Chain A
Amino acid sequence: MFYREAGQFKTSYYADQAIFPILQDRIGVAVILFVAFTLPLVASDFFVGSVMIPFLVFSLAAIGLNILTGYTGLISLGTGAFMGVGAYACYKLTTIFPNVPIVVHILSAGFFSAAIGVIFGLPSLRIKGFYLAVATLAAQFFLQWCFVRIPWLYNNNASGAIEVPVRTLMGIDVTGANATPEVRYYLILAIVVGMTWVASNLVHGRIGRQWMAVRDMDIAAELIGIRLLNTKLLAFAVSSFYCGVAGAVMMFLWYGGGEAADAFNINQSFNILFMVIIGGLGSLIGSFFGAAFISSFPTLLKFGLPLIGIHIGSASVEHLTHFAIGALIIAFLIVEPHGLARLWQIAKQKLRVWPFPY
């Protein structure tokens, strides 16, 4: 009754192609943004630092993978490694050019990741499907090996880990021990909002349509004049860019340094793939849903089960998480292959015609 356009009044293609055609949607997005930006004023440091920051970082990575797997149909098991490239590139950049603002480093780290992504995407013209999945596994293991075995990447320090130096932005510490969760949260939020906006424009435009054409049937796409290699490589580049930025943000603004070989291993790749599947393949909002779901699921189990009277140890929680996520993946693939995003869409559609169901 309230959530509806009153008739078809569109007079231009511009209006017809609007991403949020309904006024309430636009208000909704504004409210979400407002809440996101005012959250640190009301929420505790713990919530901001251990719930919201991981959620945003994973959302960014999930958007990256969604562009490749959801929109272009190229399955990748190397997401973790591409994130790692971003983290190490950012680390090298910030130690070589200490005076440049960290934001510039984080964003340019994405370009290094994109370049590596393109290199490993090169075989994608000749090979597809599972074969490509194995090719991305090659990237995963090769890059992970590089992170451990090439001392130049971590500046030859003894611990073999990234030690995030203190960097300030306009006089405020944004990395290092003194950076408050609020500051880091705002920086991540700004990056995520900006990059989501770019991604939204990409997937709704000409490039996005090419990606989707390649996904739906690559030979047909080639016949109608889409250059396969360029399109696939662009998808790899953009996807790796997002993953690289996510990795840099993860290392610098969330972890604050550490063993990157562990943070960017194959389990991380699977984790992000799960976010994309559960959230919804080929949907930006799905990336957020999936990231929220998977990143909060272990916490929910840990604190939710005691509430309903089941007491289990923390090791069991981890096992249970593995099992539940595996089962959920299968359940989603069977029941709702388009993930949480599709459920959201159905809910909106129902609301739109409410109270008259037809």
Chain B
Amino acid sequence: MADMPDLLIQTLWDGFVAGMLYALIALGFVLIFKASGVFNFAQGIMVVFAALTLVGLHEFGINAWLALLLTLGVMLVLAVAVERVVLRPLVNQPDIILFMATIGLTYALIGLGEFIFGGNPKVMITEELFLPRGSIDLNVFGGFVSLQKLDIAAAVIAFVMIAALSLFFQYTRIGRALRAVADSHKAALSVGISLEQIWVIVWFTAGVVALITGIMWGARSDVSFALQIIALKALPVLILGGFTSVPGAIVGGLIIGIGEKVGEFYWGPLLGKGIEAWLAYMIALTFLLFRPQGLFGEKIIERI
């Protein structure tokens, strides 16, 4: 039996990796929501945009590491531009208006990305960035499991990022300022926190997270605009974990990732395949009915 793949554990592992990657995208959302109260629909396209910029710059003949630095620069410019053009004029507007503005931002970025880099899928530069290739076969009791080295790297990086960001939010001065801004723009302004600075910092951080996510997703498949649909999977993750919780993003990501893969593997054939497309949303929707604020979310108290 030792030659047979162990399907359950393999599925669990696939789910785990997918969950980690969902968690990374969700992390970008959480960062911005936690630090500015903006529900950033554009996080998905930021992932694509960052990865495209990296690959595009490399195609122009720029060294991979230099391209990485330049991409970081582009994300900083993007953060400043978003703050100047979109957020500053919309201070104190209802959340839903800001949400719609980020949908507008999504389309603007899609157009811009297509305009500069073309609409065709590109191959991520994995070797140049020293990302591991190939796979390891592990013997477990039921059979063997094949683990992509890249996936292991992705999981490790995701875990480190998430740990670092939770510490950052909890224990640093800027982290506290970010949380203050999320609570109330007005109150934060009145105690001398610079809204502009905070927004640039947080959008830049989200841009960095987007870049890392983009590299990881891009290495597994191609870098293309189709990725942003996958990025929408981060929304159910957020709902499960709660919009304001960094650990919530990771737990939600794992639940969604594993639930989705296991669901597809065991029930997919019964229902006619492809239930991955909506299973995550259905899990989240059912969950919402029992605990509207998510696993780690803050309970919303409303007053008139």
Which residues does A use to contact B, with CB under 8 Å? 73, 75, 123, 126-127, 129-131, 133-135, 137-138, 141-142, 144-145, 148-150, 217, 219-220, 223, 266, 270, 273-274, 277, 315-316, 318-330, 333-334, 337
Residue pairs across A and B with Cβ atoms less than 8 A apart, 6 shown, are A123-B288, A142-B278, A315-B119, A326-B109, A327-B104, A330-B85
Q: Which residue of A lies closest to B284 (CB)?
A: A134
Contacts of B236 in A (CB 8 A): 134, 138
A137 touching B107, Cβ below 8 Å:
no
A149 touching B111, Cβ below 8 Å:
no
What is the total of A-B residue contacts with beta carbons within 8 Å? 133
Contacts of B89 in A (CB 8 A): 334
A142 touching B111, Cβ below 8 Å:
no
Interface residues of B, dominant DSSP: helix
Q: How far is the CA of A186 from the CA of B239 in the complex (A)?
A: 46
Distance to closest chain B CB from A11 (angstroms)? 38
| Known pairs A220-B304, A319-B119; A127 contacts B292 (CB<8 A) | yes
A127 touching B288, Cβ below 8 Å:
yes
Residue from B96, B105, B238, B285 whose CB has the most chain A CB atoms within 10 Å:
B285
B229 touching A149, Cβ below 8 Å:
no
A333 touching B119, Cβ below 8 Å:
no
Which among A134, A219, A327 is the interface contact of B302 at CB below 8 angstroms? A219
Q: How far is the CA of A322 from the CA of B111 in the complex (A)?
A: 5
A319 touching B285, Cβ below 8 Å:
no
Contacts of B109 in A (CB 8 A): 326
Known contacts A220-B304, A329-B107; 11 additional CB pairs below 8 A are: A127-B292, A134-B235, A135-B281, A135-B288, A145-B277, A145-B278, A223-B304, A315-B119, A318-B114, A320-B115, A322-B108
Contacts of A315 in B (CB 8 A): 119
Q: How far is the CA of A328 from the CA of B240 in the complex (A)?
A: 33
Contacts of B243 in A (CB 8 A): 130
With an 8 Å Cβ cutoff, the count of chain B residues facing the other chain is: 48
Of B199-207, B214-222, B246-254, B266-274, the stretch lying at the interface with chain A is B266-274
Q: How far is the CA of A126 from the CA of B114 in the complex (A)?
A: 39
Interface residues of A, dominant DSSP: helix
Residue from A123, A319, A326, A329 whose CB has the most chain B CB atoms within 10 Å:
A326
Which residues does B use to contact A, with CB under 8 Å? 39, 85-86, 89-90, 93, 95-97, 99-101, 103-112, 114-115, 119, 229, 232, 235-236, 238-239, 243, 271-275, 277-278, 281-282, 284-285, 288-289, 292, 302, 304
Q: Which residue of A lies closest to B42 (CB)?
A: A326
B282 touching A329, Cβ below 8 Å:
no
| Known pairs A126-B292, A127-B292, A266-B229; A135 contacts B285 (CB<8 A) | yes
Residue from A141, A144, A325 whose CB has the most chain B CB atoms within 10 Å:
A141
Distance to closest chain B CB from A297 (angstroms)? 12
Distance to closest chain B CB from A336 (angstroms)? 12
Residue from B106, B282, B288 whose CB has the most chain A CB atoms within 10 Å:
B288
A334 touching B271, Cβ below 8 Å:
no
B285 touching A138, Cβ below 8 Å:
yes
Q: Which residue of A lies closest to B281 (CB)?
A: A138
Distance to closest chain A CB from B171 (angstroms)? 28
B277 touching A330, Cβ below 8 Å:
no
| Known pairs A135-B288, A326-B104; A149 contacts B273 (CB<8 A) | yes
Q: How far is the CA of A330 from the CA of B88 in the complex (A)?
A: 12
Q: 8 nearest interchain CB pairs?
A: A323-B111, A329-B104, A326-B108, A326-B107, A322-B111, A138-B281, A319-B114, A142-B278
